[in-house]
Amino acid sequence: MYSAFLTQTLATAELDKYYTFEGGFSREQVAMLEKQISDSNIQMNEASTFSGAGDALRKSRVGWLPMNENFLWLHEKLGDMVNIANKDLWRFDIAGMAESIQYAEYPADGGHYDWHMDTGPDQFSRRKISITVQLSDPSEYEGGDLQLKINSGHENTPKGFGMVVIFPSYLLHRVTPVTRGLRKSLVLWITGPAFK
């Protein structure tokens, strides 16, 4: 009976998979979003980490999009996408968006974020699903690959303008150093009750 339960559980879970929406955001939507970010005077700061590690782990600038009517369309669009991905792959018990959307810029002088998970201590322990939106055309920069640790290796996620990549927050991932241009992205985390 136990082995039947284990087989059924493994057959219905895709816990190390990620989901993509190619062209999830059109050029018009990205242009509108960038204008909204500019008009909102988002304050950009050097990114930090849970551990307080410096450039060795992460080098980028980040700002936080306000949760207001201007960005309601963005929250709704991302919410629809994550519901599709979660239903198809993980079936996590999720509650919603407890944190603001992060806007990030990775500069050409080695902007990166080394291997890490998006879960952490305290309130960050409730993160279950991570979402990344690619705001730069791949022709505008080099490097800056979003890589996920899958089994014993790593995998480059698709790299396209408006691409949306959704994955479990416990998966190790990184953004490789940017060597030319500027990589811009959005990141959002979906939270829920503790795993059990």
User: What is the domain-level CATH number for residue 145?
Assistant: 2.60.120.620
Q: What is the pLDDT of residue 162?
A: 97
pTM, two decimal places: 0.89
Q: Would residue 153 count as lying in a domain?
A: yes
In the predicted structure, residue 174 carries a pLDDT above the cut 50: yes
pLDDT confidence bin for 57, thresholds 50/70/90: confident
63, 42 in Cβ contact below 8 A? yes
Q: Would residue 137 count as lying in a domain?
A: yes
pLDDT confidence bin for 1, thresholds 50/70/90: very low
Q: Would residue 10 count as lying in a domain?
A: no
127: tokens are 């993160």
pLDDT confidence bin for 122, thresholds 50/70/90: confident
Separation CA 148–CA 138 (nearest Å)? 18
Q: Would residue 15 count as lying in a domain?
A: no
Q: What is the pLDDT of residue 126?
A: 94
Q: For all residues of the chain together, what is the average pLDDT?
A: 90
In the predicted structure, residue 13 carries a pLDDT above the cut 70: no
- Could you give the maximum distance between any two Cα atoms of the chain, in Å? 60
Q: Would residue 112 count as lying in a domain?
A: yes
If residue 10 lies in a helix (H) or strand (E), which one and from where to where?
Answer: helix 2-12
24: tokens are 């999830």
In the predicted structure, residue 20 carries a pLDDT above the cut 70: yes
User: How would you list the strands of the sheet with 183-191, edge to edge?
Assistant: 19-21, 164-168, 127-134, 183-191, 101-106, 61-65, 45-46
Report the number of distinct structural domains present in the chain: 1
Q: What is the pLDDT of residue 187?
A: 98
Q: Would residue 97 count as lying in a domain?
A: yes
**What 3-state class would DSSP assign to 122?**
helix
Q: What is the pLDDT of residue 2?
A: 47
Q: Would residue 116 count as lying in a domain?
A: yes
Q: Would residue 68 count as lying in a domain?
A: yes
Q: Domain range for residue 111?
A: 21-191
Q: Over range 99-113, report the average pLDDT.
A: 95
- The DSSP result for 71-95, as a single string, is GHHHHHHHHHHHHHHIIIII-----
pLDDT confidence bin for 50, thresholds 50/70/90: low
Q: Over range 9-18, report the average pLDDT.
A: 69
